[in-house]
């Protein structure tokens, strides 16, 4: 069994793979730091819930954009599984040619998403990850990661709005029946939701115009990706497990090298 782990700014997303199949996924918050024992016990409980134990785990691969938690988390893998996890980063075989000005600064989550989108949907392809930050990235037909756009995520934008405007209340992110809000809360919900749809459509259109990839499929993932995907024709596919699939693909490339 392979455990793939995506450490994001808000959540850890954990996937269990067996015989190339994603069996199950689990999430835990990444914003509050935990000890290696706490991380280890969570993973053990998740395994037990699925009917597996430590001996079933052959490897662990991790992509992280949160350096502060990695010492404890890596220590948990070593302590509880007696395995040294594979960390996605410089030197890892991905199959993509990173064409950004400073490849070492490109977030591993963006690379993992791009690997999955290119492998599963072909190139050129545009991949969007709706997370704490929303990333829009372009991969060429030859597997070149060309870069893209980073914006505040939808939930991040809403949080900043309510924190910076004293009289605006916290709101649930949802689609309203009409864009014309009759009260403060529905007006905020309409503005945040439909405004984000407009942002998505504009950025996708500009990316296609600038690259010339007018027919490139657009693949979305991330927590709020489904909500946005359902409201725009600019997104062709939504895959909630795209990042975990990318980790699995990268792991298989590493195994080919070592074998």
Residue with tokens 């690997």: 115
Residue 51 in contact with residue 90, Cβ under 8 Å?
no
Lookup: tokens for 63: 């992509």
**How many whole angstroms separate alpha carbon 94 and alpha carbon 75?**
25
Residue 35 structure tokens: 């000890």
Cα–Cα dist 18/251, whole Å: 13
Provide the 10 A C-beta neighbour count for residue 142: 10
The SS3 of residue 33 is: coil
For residue 109, indicate whether it is catalytic.
yes
Dist. CA 209–CA 213, nearest whole Å: 7
Question: SS3 breakdown of the chain: % helix, strand, coil, rounded to 5?
Answer: 45, 25, 35
129 neighbors 109 (Cβ within 8 angstroms): yes
Q: Which residues pair with 57 in a beta bridge?
A: none
Q: Write down the catalytic residue from 20, 24, 109, 183.
A: 109
Active site residues: 109
């Amino acid at each position: 069994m392979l455990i793939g782990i995506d450490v994001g700014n808000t959540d850890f997303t954990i996937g269990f793979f067996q015989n190339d199949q994603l069996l199950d996924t689990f999430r835990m918050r990444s914003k509050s730091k935990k000890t290696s024992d706490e991380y280890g016990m969570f993973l053990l409980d998740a395994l037990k819930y699925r009917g597996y134990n430590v001996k079933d785990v052959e490897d662990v691969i991790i992509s992280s954009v949160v350096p502060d938690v990695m010492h404890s988390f890596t220590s948990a893998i070593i302590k509880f599984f007696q395995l040294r996890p594979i960390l996605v980063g410089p030197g890892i075989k991905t199959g993509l040619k990173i064409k950004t000005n400073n490849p070492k600064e490109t977030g591993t989550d963006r690379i993992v998403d791009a690997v999955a989108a290119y492998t599963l949907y072909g190139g050129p392809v545009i991949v969007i990850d709706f997370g704490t930050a929303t990333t829009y990235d372009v991969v060429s037909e030859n597997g070149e990661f060309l870069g893209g756009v980073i914006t505040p995520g939808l939930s991040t934008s809403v949080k900043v709005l309510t924190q910076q405007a004293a009289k605006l209340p916290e709101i649930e992110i949802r689609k309203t029946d009409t864009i014309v809000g009759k009260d403060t809360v529905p007006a905020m919900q309409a503005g945040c939701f439909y405004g984000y749809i407009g942002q998505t459509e504009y950025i996708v259109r500009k990316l296609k115009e600038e690259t010339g990839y007018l027919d490139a499929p657009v693949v979305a993932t991330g927590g709020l990706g489904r909500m946005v995907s359902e409201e725009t024709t600019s997104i062709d596919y939504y895959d909630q497990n795209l990042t975990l699939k990318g980790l699995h693909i990268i792991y298989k490339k590493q195994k080919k090298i070592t074998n």
